[in-house]
Structure 1
Amino acid sequence: MTLRIGHGYDVHAFTAGDHLILGGVNIPFDKAFKAHSDGDVLIHALCDALLGALALGDIGRHFPDTDAAFAGIDSRKLLSRVMRQLNELGYAVVNVDATVIAQQPKLSPHVDAMRANLANDLQVEIG
């Protein structure tokens, strides 16, 4: 199997709200991400990295914010679609290392749940 490496990046502005979604985890907060989907920047960056590694374009090409089908969608569903493409092309994820840059909210209480979600969605073991 050929090794491919991708790099993804995503950013969303804040808007009024009461929670954020990161790594598929609902995190109580006094703001939300302004987005067409659920705004999960961690999963969006991961989707972008995987699509880029496969030379399939970026997340906006596959899931445009002009398509009503993706309004409010759970980003884990987007990741599932990307994983299906990856598997159909004969690839598998071996490892992911991701960094979320945020002054707040405190993410450490949610990291284990995020890791579990992503490991499940990426079909990899934690460890």
Structure 2
Amino acid sequence: MSMDGVRVGQGFDAHRFASPGSGRELWLAGLEWPGQGEGVEGDSDGDVAVHALIDALLSAAGLGDIGGLFGVGKSSQGAGQHGIPMLERTVAHVRANGFEPQSASVVIIGNRPKIGPHRAQAQESLSRAAGCPVTVTATTTDGMGFTGAGEGIAAIANALVLMRSDR
């Protein structure tokens, strides 16, 4: 099998949890997690899983990163946005540039929320928006660093894209 046109990208994102009483909703892997504590600080919904996946797809296609596509800050195109529409726009951009997402994986790093009970929903949400199978796993850092101290959450993603033959 020829590997011509097969490209892999990696993405990372991390956000600090918002202060108690901030009213920030917790969004992760395209899902809202009610009753799981405060959401994260950020200009968008702060969905680290989606943001890492966006960067992985853009990296694989050689199209920069999330800041280059959506901008940075409170007046950016991503401000106030939920992750899934941002991911859908990213996939359209990747496709418009001659690449087709093939598969992806996301590792969520943090103490909360517990991913296991909602893993299937998270995978379905991300897969539908990404247009390819997306697996979701989770880990903690055994009390080390800001994720281990419960101060925030992070995610790492990898994506595989295929250059279309019509490119």
TM-score of the superposed pair, with normalisation by structure 2: 0.69
Q: 1:60 aligns with which of 62, 67, 84?
A: 67
What SS does the corresponding residue of 2:110 show, helix, strand or coil? coil
Q: Does 1:10 align with 2:13?
A: yes
Instruction: Report how far residue 70 of structure 1 moved.
Output: 2.6
Q: Compare the two structures and name the one with the higher helix fraction.
A: 1
What SS does the corresponding residue of 2:18 show, helix, strand or coil? strand
CA contact (8 A) 2:70 2:76 kept: no
Shift in CA distance, 14/120, structure 1 to aligned 2, threshold 3 Å: same
Query: Counterparts of 2:64 and 2:134 in 1: how far apart (Å)?
Result: 28
Deviates more, 1:112-121 or 1:60-69: 60-69
Instruction: Report how far residue 91 of structure 1 moved.
Output: 1.4
Instruction: Indicate the structure (1 or 2) with the bigger Cα radius of gyration.
Output: 2
The residue number in structure 2 matching 1:38 is 45
Code of the residue aligned with 1:25 in structure 2: it is: L
Deviates more, 1:16-25 or 1:36-45: 16-25
Q: How high is the sequence identity, in percent, across the aligned residues? A: 32
Shift in CA distance, 105/125, structure 1 to aligned 2, threshold 3 Å: closer
What SS does the corresponding residue of 1:100 show, helix, strand or coil? strand
Q: What 5-or-longer segments of structure 1 have no aligned partner?
A: none
Root-mean-square deviation (CA, aligned residues, Å) is 1.9
Instruction: Report how far residue 104 of structure 1 moved.
Output: 1.7
Query: Counterparts of 1:53 and 1:18 in 2: how far apart (Å)?
Result: 32
Greater relative contact order (CA < 8 Å, ≥ 6 in sequence) = 2
Q: Compare the two structures and name the one with the higher strand fraction.
A: 2
Q: 2:92 aligns with which of 80, 84, 92?
A: 84
What SS does the corresponding residue of 2:39 show, helix, strand or coil? strand
TM-score of the superposed pair, with normalisation by structure 1: 0.89
Give the count of matched residue pairs: 127
Q: 1:123 aligns with which of 90, 115, 131?
A: 131
Code of the residue aligned with 1:74 in structure 2: it is: H
What SS does the corresponding residue of 2:104 show, helix, strand or coil? coil
Query: Counterparts of 1:102 and 1:6 in 2: how far apart (Å)?
Result: 22
